[in-house]
Structure 1
Amino acid sequence: MIRDDALDALPVRSALPALTDALEGGGAAVLVAPPGTGKTTLVPLVLAGLVGGGPARRVVVAEPRRIAARAAARRMAWLLGEKPGDSIGFTVRGERVVGRHTRVEVVTTGVLLQRLQRDQELAGTDAVVLDECHERHLDADTVAAFLWDVRQTLRPDLRLVAASATTDAGGWARLLGGAPVVEATGVTHPVDLVWSPPARPVRPPHGMRVDPALLAHVAAVVRRALEEREGDVLCFLPGVGEIARVAGQLGDLGAVDVLQVHGRAPAAVQDAVLAPGERRRVVLATSVAESSLTVPGVRVVVDSGLAREPRVDHARGLSGLTTVRASRAAGRQRAGRAGREAPGAVYRCWAEAEDGRLPAFPAPEIKVADLTAFALQAACWGVPDASGLALLDPPPGGAMAAAREVLAAVGAVDRAGRATELGVRLGRLGVHPRLGRALLDTAGGGAEVVALLSEEVPREYGDDLAGALRRARHGGDAYAGRWAAEVRRLRAVSAEVSRPPAGRADPGGAVRVGPGTGDDRLAGIVASLAFPERVARLDGGSYLMVSGTRVELGDGSALRGAPWIVVAVAGRPGGTGHARVRLGAAVPEDVALAAAGALLEEREEVRWADGDVVTRRVERLGAVELAVRPLRDARPALVRAALLEGLRQEGLGLLRWPPGAELLRQRLAFLRTHLGQPWPDVSDEALHARVDEWLEPELGRARRRADLGRIDAGQALARLLPWAGGEAARLDELAPERITVPSGSRVRIDYGDPERPVLAVKLQEMFGLQETPAVAGVPLLVHLLSPAGRPAAVTADLASFWRDGYRAVRAELRGRYPRHPWPEDPAAARATRHTKARADRG
């Protein structure tokens, strides 16, 4: 029996005429409706003609999460007085409940994506509702782009509805060819906002780590909310681990039930959360409860302010979820859950001053996630660069390039980026292409391990993939049940698309698996085939992956001490220098070498290291050195390159620089500064660039650091003098080493500052000279010294000094040095380098 009262109470009913008109007119519409208005349940029923008396149609509803797909199907079936599998069915990965008379099928976006790749026309489907578009999941964006392509080219009759609680309605309308936007208003109640930051600062989230002090604070705020408010409490936390920790800290709340809802929760728990409870409840949930699920009875929301988003480090090849501050849009969604049925309150576990600094919206997954699976889907669709797809945000070029590299490495695309036959098969498996290739390479024998790697493994399973495999086989938890279903699905689908391994040499049976293959070897084989660049060897207290990234094991790891491992999942905890292995497997050396065989090479290495030339023959597996032998008679070109690298790293001081050589370089720098060409640039950069012109043949004969130290830099540098034009002969004229001063002494010029060379000379030796000495037309900076050789004055204008500055210097020094001449008129006095008595005799 249809529950008309419940259907009539859904606020979205008022928007149905406008939605129907929009679909009749253009075939596409954007529906914006707040949570709880019935957009997920009533709209599909109306489109299918199951209520409202319209024509019978087959409708597919796409949800971003399995839990939401099941819940929506159950809710619609309940509204019709049926059970799932009758008029309403659902299909999620590993579970299908659909009957012959099913008119509305709720699927995950991943399932719909696979269906589109197999049947682009979606034969037998009249309308598709894309629910929760605002969450911007990558699969949902891809499905929307593919559906619009289908509608434009193959099925203009296919009706499309982009539905969301809150979304960029204008953007989706433009994406769907200018589709009308239909808005439904919901019944809203006031929500009190309570700012409840921790009393003391907490560490910001880093990777998957959340400060335990913040989780303790969240638990305390939940207790406070139970005391201060009526109704059920919905608490938002970033992930399953944090939910478990807060549940443990809440302990026994007496007459209050504590429920945990997330994608891995058992179906019974999910059903209990989505139905009114007889006792008061605290529901600890991930962001799945923001809009995908309606939790009845909630009057209070406690918001931790955190969320999980995918991130990928393309340079390291490590990807996964990371904890971030939730956006302001997510905060509004979460707060709205408290006012769905009656006035409520939201307790925010951060300071009001922080709120304005939060991101406005969550990052679209296409901007931050690993795009390998997306790139394969686009290639299989026929648009390898995704440029022809109707996407709200284009994929980042760097992420797409990295994705194409992975696809090429597993043989999924050709050089032009088009999907190969293998790529099409991989796309049908419904797992990451890396895992799909491992599944096919093991002829389906690795299905159990691939199923483990397809979804986040519970932390309590540990970091040993083989141990997690054994626990999943014998475990009775919800994860083990989903894992078993996925294993069955993978075995079935791999049998459909199975083919002999292609593109990789069969390493003597090292990757073959069968009934007799032990768990440890099986886990190592499959993970190594999926992540060959993450094979790692023990190196000191950590492991070096063949990609060059260093990782370490956690305390008490079951993998500790294994000579070789493969890293399936890694993160970077705060305060650590290396990535931390979160899930991996011990690997026999033969498997490691076979799986990463494409990276195996033997080569001569001649390089500058530890202050000298190192020559050796190295067998490498990527960045991992397997064997090293001395290399004799290294090729001269390689030795020369190593010596040049040493000169770049440690500088030209590796050469021998006698005093004359350094002075020559300074003189040349002076002439280059003031006269320019043809005088050479003798800076380090210029000398490195012209090494062939001035340092040969000495460099060609050198073999090690000591040989560099025997090269006379001055003799080599002389090769750069402008000999061809004859200017070299004027070096001593333009930049002499010494000049003769009035006393007759020949005094060295200091060219250390190429802008203004310095002449340091005793003051008495300059008597009688009115014009400041100059070289190449540049006046020298004269340092006038006392009889003891200490600076008494500095001037670039001798005439001015004799006239204005000398008197003060004379008054200060004549008493200290009475034996030296201090005439009243130095400009007219005779210069001398002797004392007064000897000067008089002279």
Structure 2
Amino acid sequence: MIRSEALDQLPVRTAVPALVAALDAHGAAVLCAPPGTGKTTLVPLVLAGLVGGGPVRRVVVAEPRRIAARAAARRMAWLLGERVGERVGVTVRGERTVSPDTVVEVVTTGVLLQRLQRDQELTGVDVVVLDECHERHLDADTAAAFLLDVRAALRPELRLVAASATTDAAGWSRLLGDAPVVEAQGVSHPVETVWAPPARPVRPPHGMRVDPVLLSHVASVVRRALAEREGDVLCFLPGVGEIARVAGQLSGVGAEVLQVHGRAPAAVQDAVLAGSASGRRVVLATSVAESSLTVPGVRVVVDCGLAREPRTDHARGLSALTTVRASRAAARQRAGRAGREAPGTVYRCWEEAEQGRLPAFPNPEIKVADLAAFALQAACWGDPEAAGLALLDAPPAGAMAAAREVLTAIGAVDARGRATDRGVRLSRLGLHPRLGRALLDGAREIGARRAAELVALLSEEPPREYGDDLAEAWRAARRGGDAYGARWKQETRRLASGVRGEGAPLADDAAAGLVAALAFPERVARARCAGAFLMVSGTGAEVGEGSRLRSAPWLAVAVADRPAHAASARVRLAAVLDADTARVAAEHLYGVREEVRWEGGDVVARQVEALGAVELAVRPLREVPRGQVRGALLEGLRQEGLGLLRWTRDAAGLRERLAFLHRELGAPWPDVSDAALVECAGQWLEPELSRARRRADLGRIEAGQALRRLLPWAGGEAARLDALAPERIEVPSGSRIRVDYSGEQPVLAVKLQEMFGLAQTPRVGASGSSPGVPVLVHLLSPAGRPVAVTADLASFWREGYRGVRAELRGRYPKHPWPEDPGAAAATRHTKARAARQGTGG
């Protein structure tokens, strides 16, 4: 019997006429309705004609999670007074409860994608409802894109509803061809916000790690909420591990503590959703309870402020969930759960000032996730680039390129990105393509059942207490006795039914290593030292203390994460491997290459047999092409600089003179900075560079001789080098003094007595209308020590010489110190010698 009273209490009923009218007129609509209004339960029943009259239509409701799909089917069947499997059925991975009478079928978005790939017309289906669109799961976005293709090309009569609690209504409306937006108002009770930040500093989350200080604080806030408020408490935590740890700290709270997440047993899920007849409850839940599930009896929400999102390191082939700050939209959703049935309270475990710094919305999964499965779906759909798919957000080009590399390596797509027969089969296994490859190829080697058991372990990471050894975890799952073991056995049966293979009787360790390596060939790793490994992807990996994996020569790494700023990944789950199996599993990464490069300060030429970044064998190269050696030498110059060449004093001086002219006059005088000379080393160092074979040969190249090749010979300017930037300047004494061009201004260091009679400062770099640059004259004492520095000799003779003469004539009485230096004869000798030579004094 239909429970009419319960149906009449659902607020969405007021929006149903507008939704039906929109679908009749446009064939598609966006339904925005707050949690608890009945959008997931009443709307499908109305569209199917099971309540409220109207024609009977077959309706498929797609939910993002299995737990939500089961809950929605149970609720709708209850409203009809029936059991699941009659007019309302459910299909999730590994479970199907339907009958010939089924009119409304609730499925996961993954199941819907499988059906679309097998039957693009969705034969017999009249309406598809995509629920919880705001969560932006990749499967849901993909299903929406495929359905829009179906409506446009095959079945314009197929009706499509995008339903969500809070969403980008305008964006979805545009995506669905300017479909009408229908909004339903919920029953909103006031929710008081209590800010409850930790008293002690909390380290921010990184990777999967959450500071235990925060978890202890969350447990204390739950206790506080039980003491201060009435009703059940719903506490949001990022993952299963955090739920278990907080549950362990809530013993003796005087309330039933329940744990809700995707891995929870069905009995526990049912108990939570059924409510409690007596006593209070504390429900510890992941984000699945934000909008997908309605938990009755809740008056208080405790929000830890964290969530989990997928992240992929495409360069290293590492994918994992990571802990992030929950968005403001998620925080609103969570808080709203406290006000569903009556006024409530939300305790937020962070400072009020932090609220505005939270991200507005969670990241769409298509922006951050591994896209291998999506790329395979698109290829099987006939659009390998996903360019023609109607998506709210385009997939990142880099992530798509990495995904295509994976698919090509496992034979799922051809060179043009089109799905192969193998790829189509992989897409229908309900697994990530990597795991699908391991199942198909592993079944041939070790048998279908054993391959299915191992792939089931890899598809849902076993509990941490199973350890980091995949073979040991396999044995633990076989023993069973826990909720994970039950789910594992169910998934094993599903996978084994889809493949064939007898295989060889390999030992557990060898079988586990083979299957893990087939799934993750880029993570095959060879030992470098105890506990440290190098993956063929080039990433280092470390095994924890006490693990038997530390002594393995090779590993097949199934699960690893790389903390921020860490040099190596941490191995969470792996299997022992042997070299031959590693070679077979990662065959597409095997190669023999010749390497000629600059390494360790010299040219290294070798032949390398390698599996990706792991070198298997190295041999010296006997015959090395000159061009490759030349390239290695140039790389050496880039790495170590021009000091590898032979720089005499004259060579260094020439470079300084050229630098001066380039600075003062510009072209055609060349730039001789380190960067410029290294950049064009292949020009000015020929032909010596082509004859060189090793570092020592570079040291024999006379840099000054080679540098002259850069002079502007073509225009005749090179002939003016000595005039524009003379190496030496002749001073009045007749001495030719070297000019130092190493600084910003050329320097002439000369004994003071040798400059007598010279009134004007020498200049260099004079060209055309440019008068040139005066040299900076360092006037020296007879002992060669600086006594004055000037770029204006005339001024010095007038104003500075008198003080210098007074100070030094007593110290150096044998040298001339005339009162009038302008009229005196320059000399580099003492007075006596100058007199003998007739140079005056």
Q: Same fold (TM over 0.5)?
A: yes
Counterpart AA for 2:516: A
**Counterpart position of 1:600:** 590
Q: Cα offset for 1:425?
A: 1.6
Deviates more, 1:382-391 or 1:364-373: 382-391
Q: Report the secondary structure of 2:321's partner residue.
A: strand
Q: Evaluate the alpha carbon distance shift between residue 377 and residue 837 of structure 1 in structure 2; reply closer, same or farther with a 3 A threshold.
A: same
**Counterpart position of 1:498:** none
Output the CA distance in 1 between the equivalents of 2:390 and 2:58. Answer: 25
**Counterpart position of 1:774:** 763
1:185-214 Cα shifts (integer Å, max 9, x gaps): 111111111111111211111111111111
**Counterpart position of 2:260:** 261
**Counterpart position of 1:372:** 372
Question: Counterparts in 2 of 1:612-623, with a 5 A limit?
Answer: 612-623=602-613
Q: Report the secondary structure of 1:355's partner residue.
A: helix
Q: Cα offset for 1:714?
A: 2.4
Q: Evaluate the alpha carbon distance shift between residue 300 and residue 663 of structure 1 in structure 2; reply closer, same or farther with a 3 A threshold.
A: same
**Counterpart position of 1:499:** none
User: Is 1:548 paired with 2:503?
Assistant: no
Deviates more, 1:769-778 or 1:136-145: 769-778
**Counterpart position of 2:567:** 577
Counterpart AA for 2:759: Q
Output the CA distance in 2 between the equivalents of 1:558 and 1:269. Answer: 36
**Counterpart position of 1:245:** 245
Output the CA distance in 2 between the equivalents of 1:603 and 1:167. Answer: 53
Output the CA distance in 1 between the equivalents of 2:301 and 2:407. Answer: 44
Counterpart AA for 1:757: P
Q: Report the secondary structure of 1:760's partner residue.
A: strand
Output the CA distance in 1 between the equivalents of 2:757 and 2:681. Answer: 47
Please point out which of 470, 473, 479 is paired with 1:474: 479
1:481-532 Cα shifts (integer Å, max 9, x gaps): 222222222222335xxxxxxxxxxxxxxxx972623222221111211221
User: Is 1:751 paired with 2:737?
Assistant: no
**Counterpart position of 2:200:** 200
Q: Cα offset for 1:728?
A: 4.0
Contact 2:740 2:746 in 1 (8 A): yes
Deviates more, 1:468-477 or 1:306-315: 468-477
Q: Evaluate the alpha carbon distance shift between residue 694 and residue 152 of structure 1 in structure 2; reply closer, same or farther with a 3 A threshold.
A: closer
Output the CA distance in 2 between the equivalents of 1:348 and 1:720. Answer: 70
**Counterpart position of 1:8:** 8
Contact 2:443 2:503 in 1 (8 A): no
1:152-187 Cα shifts (integer Å, max 9, x gaps): 221111111111111111111111111111111111
**Counterpart position of 2:212:** 212
Indicate the percent of aligned positions where both proteins have the same amino acid. Answer: 77
Counterpart AA for 2:629: V
1:765-800 Cα shifts (integer Å, max 9, x gaps): 223222211223132122223344333333222223
Counterpart AA for 1:458: P
Output the CA distance in 2 between the equivalents of 1:811 and 1:15. Answer: 106
Counterpart AA for 2:794: A
Contact 2:208 2:322 in 1 (8 A): yes
**Counterpart position of 2:792:** 797
Q: Report the secondary structure of 2:384's partner residue.
A: coil
Please point out which of 660, 678, 681 is paired with 1:670: 660
Q: Evaluate the alpha carbon distance shift between residue 678 and residue 22 of structure 1 in structure 2; reply closer, same or farther with a 3 A threshold.
A: closer
User: Is 1:626 paired with 2:624?
Assistant: no
Q: When the two structures are superposed, what TM-score results if normalisation uses the length of structure 2?
A: 0.94
**Counterpart position of 1:404:** 404
Contact 2:641 2:678 in 1 (8 A): no
Q: Cα offset for 1:808?
A: 5.1
Deviates more, 1:801-810 or 1:564-573: 801-810
Output the CA distance in 1 between the equivalents of 2:763 and 2:243. Answer: 81
Q: Report the secondary structure of 1:412's partner residue.
A: coil
Output the CA distance in 1 between the equivalents of 2:420 and 2:408. Answer: 10
Q: Evaluate the alpha carbon distance shift between residue 235 and residue 628 of structure 1 in structure 2; reply closer, same or farther with a 3 A threshold.
A: same
Counterpart AA for 1:524: G
User: Is 1:485 paired with 2:519?
Assistant: no
Output the CA distance in 2 between the equivalents of 1:480 and 1:769. Answer: 101
Contact 1:566 1:584 in 2 (8 A): yes
Output the CA distance in 1 between the equivalents of 2:210 and 2:504. Answer: 42
Q: Cα offset for 1:804?
A: 4.2
**Counterpart position of 2:522:** 533
Q: When the two structures are superposed, what TM-score results if normalisation uses the length of structure 1?
A: 0.94
Output the CA distance in 1 between the equivalents of 2:11 and 2:683. Answer: 84
Q: Cα offset for 1:671?
A: 3.0
Counterpart AA for 1:759: L
Q: Cα offset for 1:380?
A: 1.1
Q: Cα offset for 1:805?
A: 4.3
Contact 1:209 1:574 in 2 (8 A): no
User: Is 1:439 paired with 2:427?
Assistant: no
Counterpart AA for 2:778: H
**Counterpart position of 2:275:** 276
Output the CA distance in 1 between the equivalents of 2:546 and 2:52. Answer: 62
User: Is 1:182 paired with 2:188?
Assistant: no
**Counterpart position of 1:830:** 825
Output the CA distance in 2 between the equivalents of 1:725 and 1:116. Answer: 73
Q: Cα offset for 1:474?
A: 2.0
Output the CA distance in 2 between the equivalents of 1:259 and 1:818. Answer: 104
Q: Report the secondary structure of 2:453's partner residue.
A: helix
Contact 1:209 1:573 in 2 (8 A): no
User: Is 1:53 paired with 2:43?
Assistant: no
Question: Counterparts in 2 of 1:383-462, with a 5 A limit?
Answer: 383-443=383-443, 445=448, 446-462=451-467
**Counterpart position of 1:150:** 150
Output the CA distance in 2 between the equivalents of 1:576 and 1:682. Answer: 40
Q: Cα offset for 1:145?
A: 1.0
Q: Report the secondary structure of 2:550's partner residue.
A: coil
User: Is 1:710 paired with 2:710?
Assistant: no
Structure 1 gap segments, 5+ residues each: 496-511
Q: Evaluate the alpha carbon distance shift between residue 79 and residue 808 of structure 1 in structure 2; reply closer, same or farther with a 3 A threshold.
A: farther
Q: Evaluate the alpha carbon distance shift between residue 782 and residue 243 of structure 1 in structure 2; reply closer, same or farther with a 3 A threshold.
A: same
Q: Cα offset for 1:837?
A: 5.8
Q: Cα offset for 1:422?
A: 1.8
Counterpart AA for 2:635: E
Counterpart AA for 1:469: W
Question: Counterparts in 2 of 1:303-382, with a 5 A limit?
Answer: 303-382=303-382
**Counterpart position of 1:501:** none
Q: Evaluate the alpha carbon distance shift between residue 774 and residue 248 of structure 1 in structure 2; reply closer, same or farther with a 3 A threshold.
A: same
Contact 2:758 2:822 in 1 (8 A): yes
**Counterpart position of 1:504:** none
Contact 1:463 1:558 in 2 (8 A): no
Q: Cα offset for 1:142?
A: 0.6
Q: Cα offset for 1:107?
A: 0.3
Deviates more, 1:37-46 or 1:615-624: 615-624
Q: Evaluate the alpha carbon distance shift between residue 839 and residue 352 of structure 1 in structure 2; reply closer, same or farther with a 3 A threshold.
A: farther
**Counterpart position of 1:506:** none
User: Is 1:561 paired with 2:551?
Assistant: yes
Q: Report the secondary structure of 1:591's partner residue.
A: helix
Q: Report the secondary structure of 2:595's partner residue.
A: strand
Q: Cα offset for 1:683?
A: 2.9
Deviates more, 1:728-737 or 1:480-489: 728-737
Aligned residues: CA RMSD: 2.1
Q: Evaluate the alpha carbon distance shift between residue 204 and residue 813 of structure 1 in structure 2; reply closer, same or farther with a 3 A threshold.
A: farther
Output the CA distance in 2 between the equivalents of 1:823 and 1:355. Answer: 84
Q: Evaluate the alpha carbon distance shift between residue 297 and residue 739 of structure 1 in structure 2; reply closer, same or farther with a 3 A threshold.
A: same
Q: Cα offset for 1:5?
A: 1.3
Contact 2:540 2:567 in 1 (8 A): no
Counterpart AA for 1:486: E
Contact 1:552 1:581 in 2 (8 A): yes
Structure 2 gap segments, 5+ residues each: 767-771
Contact 1:94 1:482 in 2 (8 A): no
Q: Cα offset for 1:723?
A: 4.8
Deviates more, 1:321-330 or 1:185-194: 185-194
Deviates more, 1:288-297 or 1:440-449: 440-449
Q: Cα offset for 1:616?
A: 3.1
Please point out which of 581, 592, 596 is paired with 1:591: 581
**Counterpart position of 1:505:** none
Output the CA distance in 1 between the equivalents of 2:564 and 2:708. Answer: 56
